[in-house]
């Protein structure tokens, strides 16, 4: 158990729809990152939030957006869903850190999104 919980666990959406995925970070962790893991691949970094501000972004289009709340929970929003967005979406939280430094990242169980 990492203390990082994600909801829902599974989701089926139609192409063109919008989806919101949720993550509850481990207590005391103020940094949250989101990753996309396509079938048979390693996770790919989407973006990171630190103290409610976006703190870095991977190679994903603007229709992928996020929020972090004062209690450090987080949302990933994806607009105009495409078939290729079908993947496991993973949230990872990290403990209090200096901006830009490494530390452990603890992952949730993920949300499996299927776009049909």
Partner 1 sequence: GEDVEQSLFLSVREGDSSVINCTYTDSSSTYLYWYKQEPGAGLQLLTYIFSNMDMKQDQRLTVLLNKKDKHLSLRIADTQTGDSAIYFCADGTGRRALTFGSGTRLQVQP
106 binds partner 1 (CB under 8 A): yes
- Which letter, b or e, does each residue of 42-62 get, where b requires 16 or more Cβ atoms within 10 Å of its Cβ? ebeebbbbbeeeebeeeebee
Q: Which residues, 4 to 63, sit near partner 1 by CB under 8 A? A: 6, 33, 35, 40-45, 48, 55-56, 58
CB 23 within 8 A of CB 75: yes
107 binds partner 1 (CB under 8 A): yes
Q: How many residues bind partner 1 (CB under 8 A)?
A: 27
CB 28 within 8 A of CB 19: no
Q: Which residues, 68 to 87, sit near partner 1 by CB under 8 A? A: none
Interface contacts to partner 1, rule CB under 8 A: 2, 6, 33, 35, 40-45, 48, 55-56, 58, 90, 92, 100-110
């Amino acid at each position: 158990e990492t203390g990082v919980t994600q909801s829902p666990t599974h989701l089926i959406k139609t192409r063109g729809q919008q989806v919101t995925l949720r993550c509850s970070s481990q207590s005391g962790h103020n940094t949250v990152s989101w990753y996309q893991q396509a079938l048979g691949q390693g996770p790919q970094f989407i973006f990171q939030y630190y103290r409610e501000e976006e703190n870095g972004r991977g190679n994903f289009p603007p229709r992928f957006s996020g929020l972090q709340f004062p209690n450090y929970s987080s949302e990933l929003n994806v607009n105009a869903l495409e078939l290729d967005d079908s993947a496991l979406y993973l949230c990872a939280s990290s403990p209090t850190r200096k901006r830009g430094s490494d530390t452990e990242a603890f992952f949730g169980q993920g949300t499996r999104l299927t776009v049909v």
